[in-house]
Amino acid sequence: MNRHQRRKQQKEQKIVQPFHQELLEIIKIHSSKNYVLAEKEYLNLLNKIPNDYETIRHLGILYFDIGRLEQAYNCFQKSVKVNPKRCEAYNNLGFVHIKNGNLELAETCLQKSYEINTRYIPTLNNLVGLYINWQHPDTALKFAKRSIALEPANPISNSQYAKALIQNGQLTEAIQILEDLYKKFPSPPFRMDLSSAYRENGDIEKSDQIIKEEFNKNYKILDFFALYAIDKSNSLNSEQIKYYEDMVKVDAKGERSLIRDQIKLCETFYIYYKNKKDLKKSSQYLVRMNKLQYGLKKYDMKLEEQFFQRLKNIFSNNLDFSLNKKGNIVPIFVCGMPRSGTTLCEQILSSHSNVTGAGELNFLANLSGIGTSVQVKEDVLNAFEKNISDKKFLLNLRKEYINKLIERREGKNHYICDKMPHNFVFIGLIRTIFPEAKIVYCKRDPIDNCFSLYAHKFLEMSHQYSYDQKTLAQYYKLHSDLMDFWLDRYKNDVFVLDNEELINNQEKTSRDLVSFCGLEWEEQCLKFYETKRQVRTASIDQVRKPLNNKSIGAWKKYESSLTELISQIK
């Protein structure tokens, strides 16, 4: 290094060192939640040195913290341009995409961050969260284990690891981790995770106790408010109602994070006022919830029409491939429209001593290459059609699927339930590669089913068709048409479980169901609500109680708000 170069380096160090010390001071202001002053100081610092990676990035973090996601995104994008070889801003971009529900873009950013630095803990933890949201339990657990191996004492890593364990059916270990975590770090988010884990495990009382305790400490934490308010035994005071109703009234101006909060609040108030018998207010919030949610992302019905038609074309002819091989494990596929009774069906079957209820598994969609059974694009369909004629591909799919099922098996049970509702699109594939499998199709009254979908907010945007009445009716009819095709082709291989018949004649219908699956009758199948097992669906509370007919005709109370749906379905 010559004299000129040394002088240049020394000059740069004199500029950079005080600058970073100043940045640390601003970060302290930011951490104290003095956001107005912190923003001012970040901007002042950028006036001195406009293209400093960390200052731009931390300004983005501030905007993220206060819900200004568009400005946060712009800052992170600028940070990447300033220094594309650093991993942190790619991670930040990925997290913004997760918050906005853009999971494919999130994966691209997070994987780029991971390529740059495989040991960066925030990226690993965000990848866990991404794959949990995306229902890729194996991948989520893989990244969670890497994060834990690098920093065993990191509380966020432990929390993410516990969530990944829950999605992989390892609930006992997850609860122990969360209990230990909350003792060391008594923060509300960790307590929320513990409450959710108890609920999935059937410990509703413990879950409700945590919710009430945390809500009474601070009612302004939205997650605790939502769960507290929908409990029929709880009432809100005027201050609490005003605080959240004012939040719903705010003009979100396209800010997706605030819109998502408003959607959650509308869902909460819909249920709260329904419980309080104020159907006028309940209806208003129900309609607003769906309008806001549907506005987040356009839904292309033509994609569904093409997908369903291609499925019928593919399976109209006898495939050259026919598998006669049978194994030790008998998969039971419980499918149908979401909210059609699939969770109840699985709960009945898993009450049997020789059946494991594995819950909603995305294995078939992932292994087949489809990835998602909603909004499937043409290039994916082309690849699927090619694979369906490849014997080697199908044999491998079968092997991998069975191996994944075995990982979920309890004891030596031979029967394992996969109750992913949208597996109804894969009935032809199931009959091709799993000749030993039992297929149960759950159905209920069309308007009851559609209303239940319309009245429920699903995770992310997995069922975006259900938030617009006309679109929902169109999708339901598409599903019915495809099921007519499957039942005509495989009528002796599919058990149709009618929800109303089950409610009106529980024992006979339950016996027929159990017999169809090749099982001996066991009386505990009638007391399904006593079965202790993990449940991860919206029906988590209902299946812990005996059968009742309250859901039949529930839509009639909201008939005046459902005119479009009713006219389309009838």
**pLDDT value, residue 101:** 74
**pLDDT value, residue 541:** 53
pLDDT per residue as tens digits for the range 161-201: 999 998 888 888 999 999 999 899 988 889 999 998 888 88
pLDDT bracket for residue 280 (50, 70, 90): very high
Angle at 425 between CA 421 and CA 426, to 5 degrees: 100
pLDDT per residue as tens digits for the range 444-462: 999 999 999 999 988 767 7
- Rounded mean pLDDT of 524-546? 63
- Residue 443 token pair: 């159905």
Q: Is 14's pLDDT higher than 60?
A: no
SS3 (DSSP) at 459: coil
**pLDDT value, residue 137:** 87
**What is the overall mean pLDDT for the chain?**
89
Q: Which residues contact 490 (CB under 8 A, 6 or more apart)?
A: 427, 428, 431, 439
Domains and CATH numbers, the chain: 15-117 (1.25.40.10), 301-317+331-569 (3.40.50.300)
**pLDDT value, residue 11:** 44
Of 18, 85, 32, 91, nearest in space to 60 by CA? 91
Q: What one-letter code names the amino acid at 279?
A: L
Lowest-pLDDT range of 35-49, 95-109, 221-235, 239-253: 95-109
**pLDDT value, residue 13:** 39
- pTM (2 d.p.): 0.80
SS3 (DSSP) at 233: coil
Q: Is 318's pLDDT higher than 80?
A: no
pLDDT per residue as tens digits for the range 320-353: 666 666 678 999 999 999 999 999 999 999 999 9
Rounded percentage of the chain residues whose pLDDT exceeds 90: 69
Q: 53-65 and 3-31 helices cross at what angle (nearest 10)?
A: 10
Residue 53: other Cβ atoms inside 10 A: 17
pLDDT per residue as tens digits for the range 503-512: 999 999 999 9
Alpha helices in 295-419, H assignment, sequence order:
301-316, 342-350, 363-368, 378-387, 391-408
Q: Is 224's pLDDT higher than 50?
A: yes
- Rounded mean pLDDT of 314-318? 85
**pLDDT value, residue 539:** 46
Instruction: Report which of residues 538 and 356 the model is more confident about.
Output: 356
Residue 103: other Cβ atoms inside 10 A: 18
**pLDDT value, residue 9:** 44
- Rounded mean pLDDT of 282-290? 97
Q: In which residue are the tokens 């999971």 written? A: 103
Which DSSP state fits 2? -
| Beta strands per DSSP E along 360-485 | 415-418, 438-443
**pLDDT value, residue 372:** 81
Is residue 113 within 8 Å of residue 120, measured between CB atoms?
A: yes
**pLDDT value, residue 10:** 45
Is residue 360 within 8 Å of residue 537, measured between CB atoms?
A: yes
Q: Is 237's pLDDT higher than 60?
A: yes
- CA dihedral 279→285→291→296, nearest 10 degrees, is -150
SS3 (DSSP) at 441: strand
- Residue 496 token pair: 């149709």
The dihedral of CA 173, 177, 183, 186: what is its sign?
A: negative
pLDDT bracket for residue 1 (50, 70, 90): very low
Instruction: Report which of residues 70 and 561 the model is more confident about.
Output: 561
CA distances from 463 to 5, 300, 327, 341, 377 (A): 60, 12, 34, 17, 16
**pLDDT value, residue 3:** 53
Cα–Cα distance between 52 and 29 in angstroms, integer? 19
CA distances from 35 to 40, 68, 79, 226 (A): 9, 12, 20, 27
- Residue 283 token pair: 């209806």
Rounded percentage of the chain residues whose pLDDT exceeds 70: 92
The dihedral of CA 63, 66, 68, 69: what is its sign?
A: positive
**pLDDT value, residue 12:** 40
Of 242, 246, 233, nearest in space to 276 by CA? 233
**pLDDT value, residue 8:** 45
Instruction: Report which of residues 49 and 67 the model is more confident about.
Output: 49
**pLDDT value, residue 15:** 40
Instruction: Report which of residues 528 and 89 the model is more confident about.
Output: 89
Instruction: Report which of residues 458 and 228 the model is more confident about.
Output: 228
CA distances from 152 to 147, 158, 491 (A): 8, 7, 53
Cα–Cα distance between 548 and 555 in angstroms, integer? 16
- Rounded mean pLDDT of 363-367? 91
Instruction: Report which of residues 38 and 408 the model is more confident about.
Output: 38
Lowest-pLDDT range of 78-92, 246-260, 294-308, 484-498: 246-260
What is the C-alpha radius of gyration for the chain, rounded to an integer number of angstroms? 26
